[in-house]
Amino acid sequence: MTVNQPTKRSAIGRVFSAFWSTLNFTRKLILNILFFAIIAAIIVAAGQDKGTVNIAQKSALVLNLSGVIVEQKQAVDPVDAFMAESLADDSTPQEILLADVLNVINNAEHDQRIQAIVLDLKYLAGGGLNKLEAIGKQLDSFKQAGKQVIAIGDYYTKSQYFLASYANEVLLHPMGFVQLDGFSMYNTYFKSALEKLKVSTYIFRVGSYKSAVEPFMRNDMSDEAKIANQAWLDQLWKLYKEGVAERRGLPTEAFDEKMADFETKFAAANYDMAQYSLENNWVDQLVTREEIDQKLAEIVGWTDNKRSYNKVSFKDYLSLVKPAQGFVQPAGDKVAIIVAKGTILDGHKKAGEIGGDSTAKLLERARLDDSVKAVVLRIDSPGGSAFASEVIRREIDLLQQANKPVVASMSSVAASGGYWIAASANEIWAHPSTVTGSIGVFGLYMTLENSLKHIGVQADGVSTTEWPVLNPAIPLEKSSQHILQKGTERVYQRFLHIVSKHRDMTLSEADQVAQGRIWIGTQAQQLGLVDKLGDLDDAIASAAKLAGVENFKTKVIEAELTPQQQLMKELLGQVSAWFEQPSDQSPYKFQPELVKTLKELKHLSQWNDPNGVYAFCEHCRF
């Protein structure tokens, strides 16, 4: 009987086997150490209570906001969010919830330990004038309590400076600058590139000013788009200047000099931008970081080790005052608040995007909740799918049929599809700077038959009907183009009928304010597209009045995390506080134009309207 002997490895095989075993062991060891370190951190963090944040009897709250201020944060897996923060991954811009900022300032106003707020806005990336004004309004209330607000900065972008202008004093580094470069709108155009790639582009649109598809049909901005964009950007800049000028006690001309005048003054300041800002009264003092510490210590005192003035960060203070997740809502009448933030897409979407089905489900929950007497739909959206917009709007009709009034409250943007979902509300409230309108629709289709032919690939086949075949490998026939254009026009007519019916206009009047043209809040009110100007609180009060309730609570209705997700979020959130460092996402970080272009193209891949027709305002996301 023959016995099979084990194959003997060669010397090289044994070397590689030993090397791989060592490498694999090391890999497992490192991963296990990392895993158990995270688990240990979670356990320790879970055992910490909120009282571990120490605040001196005289302290400054440092409002060191990092990222973009939003109405609703983008949904992110809690573990992914923790790992990104712990590893300083800045591939996704950070977001700051507006409600958190307002809550922190409001609590600080009534906290006897907090004597001042320090606006450290170095990493604030913006968020819309209306959100900045909401924070400013809360800062004004803080100041009325006899407390100081001090803005500090190495430099100020226009968004940072707008918020800084609410401070009692604005301090700037001697080598810093204030960049008040106004608002602008520049796009990337692909017509020539598509021609070189031999891509056939089919555009279907309605509205003289509906320019969202221009990048695919032109190499420059059309005259109509330039006129329309210049008009609303000028109005927005006017609001910016008037607000800052009033708070700084300056004429608006101080923020809108002609280049020749600027060069003269700049030369007089010895070409020193910081000195120019001081002489122009944009800032109050030029101070170094050490001098800032000394100035603030005079207000709140030094820490025991004399290394810093007494202070508490925004994130630490938020951990003390933010309500616990899942607390029981008190009984009684309620006004529900539902946030619709992001691009409108068909189907179910996570927070930070508006899914036609998922947002309609939130509205349905409000309709079926007997304690909810009225609904405020807070909209911050440039639009998207026309089909999904109508799904959401129809649910608003059902709320009204259930005798529950709906008030639309527009945030920074409520345009195109964003206006569609607002149109049938009992009342529409906007902020003076809200970007809205853009009532128009379009469709976009591309085929690659010439691109494929160029590399020797052909497409051919048969069909059982003459129905249009939408295959990117074959050209779109004239009959198909006609059908798609007529379908797009039909959706536009439906949009006009909705506006006409609910805004008490004739179709002709609705068409005159539509055509895809963008308006800001003040203009929209004059044109009848908006009822009143005000903030979210005004909209809530109005909704309660329409419902006939006086004693009520507000209730935010949103997609709920599973118990497991909520637990991980709470635990990992506490751990991430250990790693707290301001993000180095400077607003001046270089972003190649190619990256911006790729992001725009990636955005197109998300569109999923069943009819391929979109009510979307590309320019409104500036």
The secondary element (H helix, E strand) that includes residue 324 is none
3-state DSSP call for residue 345?
strand
Largest CA distance in the chain: 107
Looking at residue 73, what DSSP letter applies?
P
CA pair distance 258, 250, nearest whole angstrom? 17
Look at the block and give the residue holding tokens 């800052």: 244
Write the DSSP string, 556-593.
E--PPPPHHHHHHHHHHHHHHGGG-------TT----H
CA distance 576 to 78: 11
Q: Where are the alpha helices (DSSP H) in 47-157?
A: 78-86, 98-109, 129-144
Is-catalytic flag, 341? no
Strand ranges (E), 123-211: 124-126, 148-153, 169-172, 200-206
Residue in 86, 167, 82 with CA at minimum distance from that of residue 121: 167
Tokens of 55: 């605040």
Active site residue 479: no
Residue 83 tokens read as 């790992």
**Concatenated DSSP letters for 452-520?**
HHHTT-------SS-S----TTSPPPHHHHHHHHHHHHHHHHHHHHHHHHHTT--HHHHHHH-TT-EEE
Distance CA 151, CA 199 (A): 52
- Among residues 416, 438, 542, 576, the one annotated as catalytic is 416
Structure tokens at 278: 């001081």
Please state the length of the chain.
Answer: 622
Residues 6+ apart with CB under 8 A from 12: none
Q: What is the DSSP string of 32-81?
A: HHHHHHHHHHHHHHHT--GGGS---SSEEEEE---EEEESSPPP--HHHH
Instruction: Tell me which of 122, 131, 210, 311 is the catalytic residue.
Output: 210
The catalytic site residues sit at: 210, 416
